[in-house]
Amino acid sequence: MLLRVESQHARQWYMHEAATQGWSTRALERQIGTLYYERLLSSQDRAPVEQEAAINIQALGKTPREFVRDPVLLEFLGVPSPANLLENDLEQALINQLQAFLLELGKGFAFVARQQRISTESKDFYLDLVFYNYLLKCFVVFDLKRGELSHQDIGQMDMYVRLYDDLKRGADDGPTVGIILCTQKDESMVRYSVLHGHEQLFASKYKLVLPSEEQLRDELDRERARIEERLLAQTDQVLPGSR
């Protein structure tokens, strides 16, 4: 199975991850089939990741952005379409398939709670899913949305993260990370909201049906192009005319 992976960098990475995480043959097959390594590359600077391909991901840097997957592939739930899927049904399906969900999230995630209540002086709030990442040393809060990302969703998650930091975060914990899982997200909304450049707040699309390899590669290419465009814009702000 490993020998079928053409890229040497990718093959070394899959080999190392399979050994360190104890992946079964089925788990390894899924990770290769869903282009897990390529999705990792799409969220980071390509060259350093490839140079460190055979080394523990911990060595790639401990920032939340390097751990967040986009898209998140949930084909293992066996749900054909989100159209008639309620958010609590999606939550229950993820709990039923928790091991597969942890595998998709990546290294270092441990389940903490579902529908965890956090209370202020006047209100109670319930967080869909809460995990802890022992590599980042922080809590990770998930909010599940059945449709397209809205500015209300972003504002709600921003509040959840602030509340969790204030009420649950320990003295030795890093800042809480918030991830909104939605079926679609408008890039302009991301660009002009608190999500832009935020190192603790993210929105990721989820897919309930596994795309073809070509479709997935096209989407990853688009995501990488957006990242490169954003990096060039940031460079221009620091060094005008550097392009």
Chain centroid to CA 76: 16
207 part of a folded domain: yes
Q: What is the pLDDT along the chain (243 residues), one digit of tens a residue?
A: 999 999 898 999 999 989 988 899 999 999 999 988 888 777 665 555 555 544 444 444 567 877 788 889 999 998 867 667 888 999 999 999 999 999 999 888 999 999 999 998 899 999 999 999 998 999 999 999 988 899 999 999 999 999 999 999 999 999 999 999 999 888 778 877 888 778 899 999 898 888 788 888 888 888 777 767 766 766 666 666 555
Contact 182, 202 (CB under 8 A): no
Six token digits for residue 27: 């788990």
Place of tokens 């390894």: 28
The Cα 184–Cα 205 span in angstroms is 6
Contact 142, 104 (CB under 8 A): no
pLDDT of residue 192: 79
Six token digits for residue 173: 């914990």
Contact 31, 22 (CB under 8 A): no
41 part of a folded domain: no
211 part of a folded domain: yes
For position 171, which CATH number holds?
3.40.1350.10
For the stretch 147-163, what's the b/e string if a residue is b when 16 or more beta carbons lie within 10 angstroms of its beta carbon? eebeeebbebbbebbeb
6 part of a folded domain: no
170 part of a folded domain: yes
The Cα 42–Cα 221 span in angstroms is 8
182 part of a folded domain: yes
pLDDT of residue 60: 45
pLDDT of residue 56: 45
Helix, strand or coil, per DSSP, at residue 118:
strand
122 part of a folded domain: yes
Q: Domain range holding 191?
A: 62-235
pLDDT of residue 50: 54
**The one-letter amino acid at 233:** A
Q: Structural domain tally of the chain?
A: 1
Contact 179, 202 (CB under 8 A): yes
For the stretch 27-43, what's the b/e string if a residue is b when 16 or more beta carbons lie within 10 angstroms of its beta carbon? bbebbbebbbbbbbbbb
85 part of a folded domain: yes
Contact 201, 195 (CB under 8 A): yes
Question: CB under 8 Å, gap of 24 or more: what pairs does 163-166 form?
Answer: 163/118, 163/120, 163/125, 164/118, 164/127, 164/139
